[in-house]
Chains A and B, each alone.
Chain A
Amino acid sequence: MDAPIKLDIRHVSQHYRSGGHEVTAIDDVSLTIRNKEFATILGPSGCGKTTLLRIVAGLVRPTAGQVHRDGHAITGPGRDRGMVFQSYTLFPWLTVRQNIQFGLQVTGLAKDEQETIAQQFVAKVGLRGFEHAYPKALSGGMKQRVAIARALANNPDVLLLDEPFGALDAQTRALMQELLTQIWEEFHQTILFVTHDVEEAIFLSDRVFVMTARPGRIKAEIDVPLERPRRYEMKSSETFLHLKKRALDLIREEAIKATQYKDGE
């Protein structure tokens, strides 16, 4: 893997004040993500992994350190880094297709082009027939498909996903993971994914960064040599189970530590 570095997270720390105390959410995290890599940050709840992702998105300014994309420092949010949030963030007054068009519209693309692109992505995430439905008529899984399509329609350089399947039931979740790997096979965007689910992290990623409980640091880095494209049968392969055990052991230690903090995430 000699691909050039896409994201360079350098000595990033995040402190905030809570009830008169100085809390360290992230403590000197450095990591690099290569071009077209699917990387996941795995950590117990409250470890600051979401904060780290928000820093990469440019939504939060780190207390110390910097993030570079292609050698340029990130100073704010931008369409080069699409993001999918854990909560349902579809615009309820727009239909499925209008939601997917949103990013194209704000950049002033011609209307017929917007519609063509949006329609392609409607099909990609398997929502044909729902183009004109409002979000209130969609299930949780469908909403997240629209959110993914909306981020991808913008053709971002990097896709950031913050526990996008966290609120879904186990079956829907498994199907969404497969959909995401298929999409990645097709578009090969650089992906930074955040989750606390060990199996999800290994199934999706090329590399998994395990974070410690608060203050969040990088505890370990796990390479996932499973072949692509990923298929759900791989979840019972020996390599997968071995990696899962290793990650589980690491994360369990941290989860136990995390329970000793009173406040959650």
Chain B
Amino acid sequence: MPPPSASGVRRRVTDYLSPREPIPAGVYVGLGVVGFAGVLLVWSALTYGGFVTALFLPTPHRVLLAGIQQFTQFGFATDILMSTYRVMAGFLAAAVIGVPLGLLMGTFKAVEALIEPLVGFIRYMPASAFIPLFILWVGIGDLEKIAIIFVGSFFQLILMIAVVASSVPKEMLETAYTLGAGRLQVIRRVLLPASLPGILDTLRIIVGWAWTYIIVAELVAAESGIGYMIINAQRMLQTGAIIFGILAIGFLGIVTDYGFKWLHRWLFPWSA
């Protein structure tokens, strides 16, 4: 048994099981690695142990090899670029229109009354259901994929941004009024800065959804993109390539997510 530390209190495993209590940073990161390693371990055991056939689930190194082959022989880098371009175009279009509209909706009851029922109605329509319609309208090019991303993110985005704007404490606006600010100043100097962290958080969540829609969009009538690669691999029974494609999306997603988190810390050091 190791001696107790200088403070006289030694950490025990049971300390980590107290509800909501923080744990050391090293342990936190370590557990994250263990989570990934655990999945890899089970996967390895199932495949190298010969419990499943390679057609259903290839071994980890076969998936890796299939991935390298995708990059070297089938131009997977272009697929990634195409998908990223479509996601970003649709997402940015939704953000550029949706953020101001959402802010107006969360700020003015009249705008809320005008838009909310309509948006609430449309957002229940699955984005994928629009694919046939958009193909009819704009063909099977990039524009159709971008339109799917737009529809999938725009209507959710408006409502979430409206909630951000409407949850700015009323006392904060009232304080500004008693300090002599007019309506426009209250909007520009209080409502807007107070909403910014919430806006960025919303965009982070929405871009994640945009990534899920791009695959659906690229499964139908596409000639490039990660979704196209996956559906192609399925036709050829290349299970390894399918899995590699899925893992690639997960990787792009987590990179985007951390990018947004870093941006949040950098832009809003004052935010709790």
Which A residues are within 8 Å of any B CB, using their own CB?
Answer: 57-59, 76-79, 81-83, 85, 87, 89, 91-94, 102-103, 105-107, 134-136, 147, 150-151, 154, 160
CB contact list, B173-197 vs A, under 8 A = 174-182, 185, 189-190, 193-194, 196
B171 at the interface (CB under 8 A from A): yes
CB distance from B266 to the nearest CB of A (A): 14
**Residues in chain A near residue B114, CB distance under 8 A:** none
Whether A107 contacts B171 in the complex (CB less than 8 A), given A91-B193, A93-B194, A136-B272, comes out as: no
Are A91's CB and B171's CB within 8 A?
no
**Residues in chain B near residue A160, CB distance under 8 A:** 178
Whether A154 contacts B171 in the complex (CB less than 8 A), given A91-B194, A92-B271, A136-B270, comes out as: no
**Residues in chain A near residue B271, CB distance under 8 A:** 92-93, 136
Interface residue tally on B, bucketed by range = 20 to 34
**Residues in chain B near residue A106, CB distance under 8 A:** 176, 179-182, 185, 189
What are the 8 A-B residue pairs with the smallest beta carbon separation, nearest first? A79-B180, A103-B179, A77-B177, A134-B270, A83-B178, A89-B175, A106-B181, A93-B193
**Residues in chain A near residue B190, CB distance under 8 A:** 91
Number of A-B contacts (CB under 8 A): 76
B16 at the interface (CB under 8 A from A): no
**Residues in chain A near residue B171, CB distance under 8 A:** 85, 87, 89
Partner of A92, one of B177, B178, B272: B272
A-B residue pairs in contact (CB < 8 Å), sample of 5? A79-B178, A89-B172, A93-B268, A102-B181, A154-B180
Are A89's CB and B169's CB within 8 A?
yes
Residue of A57, A59, A147 contacting most chain B CB atoms (<10 Å): A59
B24 at the interface (CB under 8 A from A): no
**Residues in chain B near residue A81, CB distance under 8 A:** 178
B22 at the interface (CB under 8 A from A): no
Residue of B175, B190, B272 contacting most chain A CB atoms (<10 Å): B175
Are B180's CB and A83's CB within 8 A?
no
B49 at the interface (CB under 8 A from A): no
Residue of B181, B185, B272 contacting most chain A CB atoms (<10 Å): B181
**Residues in chain A near residue B193, CB distance under 8 A:** 91, 93
**Residues in chain A near residue B189, CB distance under 8 A:** 102, 105-106
Chain B residue at minimal CB-CB distance from A59: B174
* Bound CA span A105–B181, Å: 9
**Residues in chain A near residue B182, CB distance under 8 A:** 106
* Bound CA span A160–B177, Å: 13
Which B residues are within 8 Å of any A CB, using their own CB?
Answer: 169, 171-172, 174-182, 185, 189-190, 193-194, 196, 268-272
CB distance from B187 to the nearest CB of A (A): 12
Chain B residue at minimal CB-CB distance from A87: B171
Chain B residue at minimal CB-CB distance from A57: B178
Are B178's CB and A82's CB within 8 A?
yes
Chain A residue at minimal CB-CB distance from B180: A79
Are A134's CB and B179's CB within 8 A?
no
Are B180's CB and A103's CB within 8 A?
yes
Are B169's CB and A93's CB within 8 A?
no
Are B169's CB and A77's CB within 8 A?
no
**Residues in chain A near residue B178, CB distance under 8 A:** 57-59, 77-79, 81-83, 151, 160
CB distance from B262 to the nearest CB of A (A): 19
Are A151's CB and B179's CB within 8 A?
yes
Partner of A59, one of B172, B177, B194, B268: B177
Chain B residue at minimal CB-CB distance from A134: B270
CB distance from A156 to the nearest CB of B (A): 8
* Bound CA span A87–B178, Å: 15
Chain B residue at minimal CB-CB distance from A82: B178
* Bound CA span A185–B21, Å: 47
* Bound CA span A85–B175, Å: 8
* Bound CA span A58–B177, Å: 9
* Bound CA span A76–B177, Å: 9
* Bound CA span A57–B179, Å: 11
**Residues in chain A near residue B196, CB distance under 8 A:** 93
* Bound CA span A59–B174, Å: 7
